Structure 1
Amino acid sequence: MQVRVLKQANPTSKKKILCTVMALVLAMVLTSLLIAVMGHNPFQVYYSMIEGCIGTPHRVRQTIITAIPLVITSIGVGIAFRMRFWNIGAEGQILMGGCFATFAALYFKELPGIVLLPTMMLLGALGGGLWALIPALLKAKFNTNETIVTLMMNYIALKWIVFLQYGPWKDPAAMGFPKIANFTDNAILPKVFGVHIGWIIALSLVGAIYYLIYYTKTGYEIQVLGESENTARYAGMNVKKVILIAMMLSGAICGLTGMIQASAVNNTLTMDLTAGVGNTAIIIAWLSNLKTPWMLVVSILFAILNQGASYIQTVYQIPQAAAEVIQGIILFCILGSQFFIHYKVRFEKDKYPVSGQDIAQSKLENKGEVA
């Protein structure tokens, strides 16, 4: 018996929906077994997870706050992924964006908020963009492996923040504790409907990047480069220029996430600023098929899952590790469904030649001499 895996170029919507539903059902079955083993009613736990993320207005706001960085960062990495540039450095770009924004918050805190906040946003985007420009230049100039370079730069950015936290930016009023001073009120993003204005920025980016990708020359060039670099060169595109522009934009958007998190959520800069957002955003971008409207939807679902898992830890005294296993099972099943959406598994019987003539015929067919 032979097993053949065939790629399907354009899977139907019916198949996508069917595979996704089956993955969710499998995830529910597996997590139910785990919850039952821990001595809890699975249906009560699932209800509590929903209640934990949308049960009260406060919980709804917390879910939105959790979703905001996921939306923005997934949009950022999605731009790079569209041209097949594997930007795994969103974590570092977020940190550097937060670092540049913190510089303005610490050294220009006398400015009014209407001036300081836009300055922090611009510097945050600049920090993330410049950090992403380094691997882009190496790729364009020396054809380096962008996956390794962007990944390694995450650690450099993290250690840089640690250095600032323990050194030049250490708050003298913290009684020796290694932390950076909290931002003043004029450096903190205002709230709209009880949630910081990051949600307005996120929605604006969803529309703006969608328009950029599908209705502008730059977006068209990014898509063509993603399909084939040779085609892009044949069409007269400046491939190096497209790589640099796209990566600068990708990093700038991730850097904006750093500014928002530092200003509106943490109110300072810390080494834990990203909270794993950069890595999660990579998964969200792929699950969304690199389409910004779907990134918004998937990010909200991830935020619901995260907030719900945190809630059941408190209500049912479930260990954090067990809650993370539940999240992992659900995520694994959903990611696994992508394989069955884009590939088809076929089982075929082995064909063994039974005579010398059959063997000779088989060899000719393998050489392509006989149709």
Structure 2
Amino acid sequence: MNRMPTWADVILVPLVSLLLAAFFSAIVLLAIGENPWEALKLMVEGSVGSTYAWGYTLYYATNFIFTGLAVAVANHAKLFNIGAEGQAQLGGLGVALVCLFLPFPHWSIALIVAICAGALFGAAWAAIPAFLQAKRGSHIVITTIMFNFIANALLVYLLVNVLKPSGTMEPATASFPDAAHLPSFNAMFSSEETVRFRGAPANVSFFVAVAACIGVWALIWRTRLGYQLRAFGHSESAARYAGISPTKIIMVAMLISGGLAGCMAINNVMGEAERLVLNSVEGAGFIGIAVALMGRSHPFGVFLAALLFGFLYQGGAELALWASIPREMIVVIQALVILFTGALDNMVRAPIERIFNRVGRPPKPERKLEPAE
């Protein structure tokens, strides 16, 4: 049987899923008495209609790139990491500690150290479920989702009892020193004549996220370790027969995955809030699951899917602000996109695959009748 072309799998299937999600979202908006076309125009204007809008869209997309890559790396080893939320929270703790207690002469040095700290704390938090899976047989889905709650409780305790400055009520750390402040897009791309990205939180972390996409692509498809990850993900028994250690693959895949999730903190903790606050992750770890699924666990696909969800987040916020659409309806629209691009992926893929198989099937040879003697 002929297989569906790669371009159709990567582009056509997500596009059809997205169109279906848009169609049903329009039905939802019509049901509550709103104009879908006007809502779409407001979302587009609010998410990409100005440098301010782009600044928020790219800020959200940066978070989703890191968590999407985290889930994607684990997916290649057939490990469903649902713990990116907690790993990103612990990554924020690592970033906050180095920014608060280490003196930095320049933001570039602070950024490098913060990346290492965020990755280290995120990887350490992912290492425990990985060890339980590799050595004790505990299911990675159960352990990682449980560790999200443990990470949140731990962060609440530290912010309320340990890291909160004396005399303050808010459960948050002190602001980072100026040397640990990352350049924003406003400072990077504005000039004396033109001010761009005014007030938007997008910062230099976006380029770190793009570099992470390139790094993950090189790791998965250009290294021996990446080949082992993919081989183990396709067939554990064949990988064992080839001498690939399951324990090593599970541990390494989850360490890389947790490290990528922890790196998200350079954007939301170091780049935007410039301190560690409660709920700084804002669900980006769970959105990363949808981003990885929609992006087919490929770094380029993850990048595009992260931009889409950045558009949905910023456009949805603008829609809730300027229209009479309830905030809950925005969540419904986002959920429909996740539903069709993730959970119902096979419902879209199967008919498209049948069409390509039918078109690509060679015609049956005509039978020649032998003349009668």
- Normalising by structure 1, we get a TM-score of 0.84
Residue by residue, what CA displacement relative to the aligned partner does 1:192-221 show, whole Å, maximum 9, x if unpaired? 435411111111111111011111000000
Relative to structure 1, is the Cα distance of residues 183 and 331 closer, same or farther in structure 2, using a 3 angstrom cutoff? same
Residue 29 of structure 1 corresponds to which residue in structure 2? Answer: 23
Residue by residue, what CA displacement relative to the aligned partner does 1:66-110 show, whole Å, maximum 9, x if unpaired? 100101111112111110112111011101111011111222246
Task: Establish whether residue 70 from structure 1 lines up as the match of residue 77 from structure 2.
Answer: no
Q: Which deviates further from its counterpart, 61-70 or 257-266?
A: 257-266
Residue 164 of structure 1 corresponds to which residue in structure 2? Answer: 158
Task: Establish whether residue 11 from structure 1 lines up as the match of residue 4 from structure 2.
Answer: yes
What CA distance in whole angstroms lies between the structure 2 residues aligned with 1:319 and 1:219? 45
What CA distance in whole angstroms lies between the structure 2 residues aligned with 1:86 and 1:118? 29
Whether contact under 8 Å (1:63, 1:304) holds in the other structure is yes
Name which of 38, 41, 50 aligns with 1:44.
Answer: 38
| 1:207-246 pair list within 5 angstroms | 207-246=214-253
The alignment partner of 1:207 has SS state of helix
Q: CA deviation at 1:249?
A: 1.1
Relative to structure 1, is the Cα distance of residues 164 and 333 closer, same or farther in structure 2, using a 3 angstrom cutoff? same
What CA distance in whole angstroms lies between the structure 1 residues aligned with 2:331 and 2:338? 10
Relative to structure 1, is the Cα distance of residues 75 and 313 closer, same or farther in structure 2, using a 3 angstrom cutoff? same
- 2:175 partner amino acid: N
The alignment partner of 1:270 has SS state of coil
Residue by residue, what CA displacement relative to the aligned partner does 1:308-353 show, whole Å, maximum 9, x if unpaired? 11111121132111221222233323335511244469xxxxxxxx
Q: CA deviation at 1:227?
A: 0.9
Relative to structure 1, is the Cα distance of residues 33 and 340 closer, same or farther in structure 2, using a 3 angstrom cutoff? closer
Structure 2: 5+ residue runs without aligned partners? 190-196, 353-373
Residue 103 of structure 1 corresponds to which residue in structure 2? Answer: 97
Relative to structure 1, is the Cα distance of residues 28 and 112 closer, same or farther in structure 2, using a 3 angstrom cutoff? closer
The alignment partner of 2:264 has SS state of helix
Task: Establish whether residue 130 from structure 1 lines up as the match of residue 124 from structure 2.
Answer: yes
Name which of 153, 176, 182 aligns with 1:183.
Answer: 176
Q: CA deviation at 1:306?
A: 1.4
Q: CA deviation at 1:186?
A: 1.4
Residue by residue, what CA displacement relative to the aligned partner does 1:35-62 show, whole Å, maximum 9, x if unpaired? 2333332211111111110111110111
Whether contact under 8 Å (2:16, 2:348) holds in the other structure is no
Task: Establish whether residue 310 from structure 1 lines up as the match of residue 317 from structure 2.
Answer: yes
Name which of 267, 271, 282 aligns with 2:274.
Answer: 267
Whether contact under 8 Å (2:13, 2:349) holds in the other structure is no
Relative to structure 1, is the Cα distance of residues 84 and 47 closer, same or farther in structure 2, using a 3 angstrom cutoff? same
- 1:105 partner amino acid: C
What percent identity do the matched residue pairs reach? 28
Q: CA deviation at 1:18?
A: 6.0
What CA distance in whole angstroms lies between the structure 1 residues aligned with 2:47 and 2:145? 32
Relative to structure 1, is the Cα distance of residues 20 and 220 closer, same or farther in structure 2, using a 3 angstrom cutoff? closer
- 1:164 partner amino acid: L
Whether contact under 8 Å (2:171, 2:277) holds in the other structure is no
What CA distance in whole angstroms lies between the structure 2 residues aligned with 1:82 and 1:16? 16
What CA distance in whole angstroms lies between the structure 2 residues aligned with 1:312 and 1:200? 28
Whether contact under 8 Å (1:262, 1:273) holds in the other structure is yes
Whether contact under 8 Å (2:96, 2:276) holds in the other structure is yes
What CA distance in whole angstroms lies between the structure 1 residues aligned with 2:91 and 2:12? 40
Whether contact under 8 Å (2:25, 2:333) holds in the other structure is yes
- 2:66 partner amino acid: I
Relative to structure 1, is the Cα distance of residues 178 and 25 closer, same or farther in structure 2, using a 3 angstrom cutoff? closer
Cα RMSD, aligned residues only: 2.2
Task: Establish whether residue 254 from structure 1 lines up as the match of residue 261 from structure 2.
Answer: yes
Q: CA deviation at 1:190?
A: 1.9
Question: Greater CA radius of gyration, 1 or 2?
Answer: 1
Relative to structure 1, is the Cα distance of residues 232 and 35 closer, same or farther in structure 2, using a 3 angstrom cutoff? same
**Bigger strand share:** 1
- Normalising by structure 2, we get a TM-score of 0.84
What CA distance in whole angstroms lies between the structure 2 residues aligned with 1:23 and 1:226? 25
- 2:288 partner amino acid: A
Whether contact under 8 Å (1:209, 1:292) holds in the other structure is yes
Residue 369 of structure 2 corresponds to which residue in structure 1? Answer: none
Structure 1: 5+ residue runs without aligned partners? 1-7, 346-371
What CA distance in whole angstroms lies between the structure 2 residues aligned with 1:306 and 1:123? 28
Whether contact under 8 Å (2:74, 2:81) holds in the other structure is yes
Whether contact under 8 Å (1:129, 1:251) holds in the other structure is yes
Q: CA deviation at 1:258?
A: 2.0
Q: Give the count of matched residue pairs.
A: 337
- 2:149 partner amino acid: Y
What CA distance in whole angstroms lies between the structure 1 residues aligned with 2:175 and 2:246? 43
Residue 92 of structure 1 corresponds to which residue in structure 2? Answer: 86
Relative to structure 1, is the Cα distance of residues 130 and 20 closer, same or farther in structure 2, using a 3 angstrom cutoff? closer
The alignment partner of 2:132 has SS state of helix
Whether contact under 8 Å (1:11, 1:341) holds in the other structure is no
Whether contact under 8 Å (2:99, 2:177) holds in the other structure is yes
